[in-house]
A and B are shown apart, each in its own frame.
Chain A
Amino acid sequence: MKFSYQSRITASALFMLLVTLLIMAALWFPRTDRTIKVMDLLFVIDITQSMDVKDVDQNGEEISRLTWATEYTKQTLQQLPCGSHVGLAAFTEARSLVLINPVEVCSSYNDLTQMLSKINGSMAWALSSEVSKAAFTAVEQAKLMEPVPDVVFITDGHEAPPLSDTLFPKFKGKLGEVSGVFVGIGGEKLLPIPKHDIDGTDLGVWEQNDVMHEDVYASLRNESVETRAAKPRNEHLSSQKKSHLEQLANMLDFDFVSSPSKPNTVISALEHKVKMRDQVVSYDWAPWFTGIALLFLVLLYFPVRFFRD
């Protein structure tokens, strides 16, 4: 197909007119209201001592589970659209202590990240680590907030003291109002846990005889001494307790994500699980107009002759 020189030059002039109009639109087209879906989240970070185990690989470096957890939370905050509300809580003993109720993530980003940087094991007020109960309190406390957030619970799942297979804590509250995701962290291998006392003094690692290896009901069961002795005594070591977290997730109708590498993994898991709220934002169309104008110009000036024959 061949056009005359004359028609080609007229066509390109009209094309340029179109581009000019697009640039004018980019400059003057008003912003419009648009609703986007946002989530309200309460991040609960496990600060018990097993979180100090350094078995998370990040760019070839082994960092502690807690370091990973705060860094991951920070990255997730950056990914959340403005309008989402985020609260922070720390978990040790048998409860999640809420540090800040959900606040709008963009305007309070500085305060949230400052607070995240303060979250560490030294703020622990007791040394046990009852993951299940802490998750339950997180859910219960989330219900008291306005708007009610869903929960992102970051933990290695290590219960200390250990739980019985049958007599474990059960969630008695109402399900459905609050959902969320368990984010499991920690490696597959059982590793020694750095030990320190409540004041943070370094005491080496937890030894086999420092911890309980059976749940508190063990002595009530009619098990022979041999059966009990044959059980592994590994509670002083820690790895990611995936099956336990899966079980907990089932109980609470949460999702479970194990060692995610990107913030989007958790965000998309949440999108399937939690309630989304409509947030009206003013939307700027300028990038669309600019993009199309740019594309047209590139087509107009494309050096076709280089690609002929």
Chain B
Amino acid sequence: MTLLGLQWASPMMFLLLPLVFLPWFTHNQDKTVAWSQFVPVDSLSNMIGFALKLLASLVLAGLILSLAGPYYPEQTVERVGNGAEVVVLVDRSRSMDDPFSTRDKALAVNRTVGKGDSKRRIAQKYLLEFVDKRPDDRFGFVLFSDKALDLLPLSYNKDSIRATIDASALGKGLSETNIAQALIKAGEMYGKEAYHGSRTVLLVSDGGQEFTDEDKQTIAALYKRENLTLYWIYMRSTAGLSLDEEGTDNSWGNTPEKRLHKFFQSLGVPYRVFEIESVKSFSEAIDTIDKQQDQTLIVNEVMPREIKTAPFFWVAMITMLLLMMAQFYTAWGVRKAHE
């Protein structure tokens, strides 16, 4: 809750506040007075008595309020950094469970990667590396199978994006994938955000897909409107022709990945494909993106909460010092009087 412009961690402590009135009910150290009318009315004494009670109340209030845990909540501060906003889409299809296949099977790739090191794992490894390289970037994550879910909205928290990427490498792949849905979801994630700087969508998949005309229109409109840059890290499953090569026979030209590539090119937004056939080329692709996406970016930095008990302690302490000295002075005076 808010009070005095501060947040309070344990507002229940406010229930103790009535205790501040205690000093006003205490009788002043009763001493036996034969008849109170004997005591002369002394306005200075009354004032001092009043002041002492006030001070005592102040100490009690200070202590109770500090127990209620005052703090300034964490605040978001904008600063200018370098980087980009990146929404990561990782294909969870079954084929991502396979290792790379290359034109040159005999080459070391499969051997060095080792059995069971699937494309999914490699994607995970290099995506993590990418995240670590880019301290200012804001990352989001879309999980997609046959449906897409904006699992992690754009976040500066590197632990969260790392853990989400780690999770995406666990377990078997899912049967179906719907890239169009995922791309739309990613675009929509930006739609909800203010413009901070370079906005990118990073699609990691090992296959293409034929989109419906409706999806194509939605994607084209969305990506232009939101000013997105699209990167496609295409982890080639089949040894074969590259996407830009014009095949001599039509069978290659009509494969889903080739048509997806053509569609991306026709989008009218900055687009680049990285055809990955080995671990090394993945790492190069990541480096290229890293270099390209190094523009000015407005970064929201979260300042952690600030605990504000100290001022209350200071007030309580100084007041208490005064009270204590007054009391010692009284004690001294009383002693003198008795001598």
Chain A interface residues toward B at CB < 8 A: 5-6, 8-10, 12-13, 16-17, 19-20, 23-24, 26-27, 87, 89, 95, 97-104, 107-108, 110-112, 114-115, 118, 122-123, 125-126, 137, 141, 144-145, 198, 286-287, 290-291, 293-294, 297-298, 301-306
Quick one: CB contact mask for B165-195 with A, threshold 8 Å, 1 for yes?
Answer: 0110011101110000000000000000000
Contact status B147-A306, CB under 8 Å: no
**Cβ proximity bits B299-339 to A, threshold 8 Å, 1 near / 0 not:** 00000000001100110110011011001101100110010
Check if A125 sits within 8 Å of B146, measured CB to CB. Answer: yes
Contact B143 A6 (CB under 8 A): no
Report how far A100 CA is from B157 CA in the complex, Å: 13
| Chain A residues, CB < 8 A from B145 | 125
Determine the interface band of chain B, counting residues with CB < 8 A from chain A.
35 or more
B324-A20 in contact (CB<8A): yes
16 pairs, A vs B, C-beta closer than 8 Å: A5-B334, A16-B320, A16-B323, A16-B327, A26-B66, A26-B309, A27-B313, A27-B317, A100-B163, A101-B170, A123-B149, A290-B63, A293-B63, A297-B59, A303-B25, A305-B30
Alpha-carbon distance between A52 and B157 when the two chains are bound, in angstroms: 32
Residues of B within 8 A of A126 (CB): 175
Q: Is the CB of B157 within 8 A of A107?
A: yes
Q: Are A301 and B22 closer than 8 Å at their CB atoms?
A: yes
In the complex, what distance in Å separates the CA atom of A108 from the CA atom of B162? 11
Within B268-301, which residues are at the interface with A (CB < 8 Å)?
A: none
Q: Which of A6, A23, A118 touches B317 (beta carbons < 8 Å)?
A: A23
Task: Known pairs A9-B327, A108-B159; list 18 more (Cβ under 8 Å).
Answer: A13-B328, A16-B320, A23-B320, A26-B309, A87-B167, A99-B151, A101-B170, A103-B160, A103-B163, A111-B153, A122-B147, A123-B147, A145-B166, A287-B67, A294-B19, A294-B67, A298-B60, A301-B22
Contact check, A290 vs B29: say whether CB atoms are below 8 A apart: no
Cα(A38)–Cα(B306), bound, Å: 24
A8 to B334, CA, bound (A): 11
Taken together as a complex, chains A and B put the C-alpha atoms of A5 and B335 apart, in Å, by 10
Q: How far is the CA of A134 from the CA of B162 in the complex (A)?
A: 24
Is B327's CB under 8 angstroms from A87's CB?
no
Highest count of chain B CB atoms <10 Å: which of A291, A302, A303: A303
Cβ–Cβ contact B314 & A27, under 8 A: yes
Whole-angstrom distance between the Cβ of B315 and the nearest chain A Cβ: 10
Whether the Cβ atoms of B31 and A19 lie closer than 8 Å is no
The reply to whether A111 and B160 form a contact with Cβ atoms under 8 Å apart is: yes
Q: Can you list the 7 inter-chain pairs with the closest CB atoms, starting with the nearest?
A: A111-B160, A13-B327, A303-B25, A16-B324, A101-B163, A98-B167, A301-B22
Given B143, B146, B309, which contacts A99 in the complex, CB threshold below 8 Å?
A: B143
Q: Would you list which residues of chain B between 119 and 167 have a CB under 8 Å from chain A?
A: 143, 145-147, 149-153, 155, 157, 159-160, 162-164, 166-167
In the bound complex, residues from chain B placing their C-beta under 8 Å from that of A87 are: 163, 167
Contacts of A24 in B (CB 8 A): 317
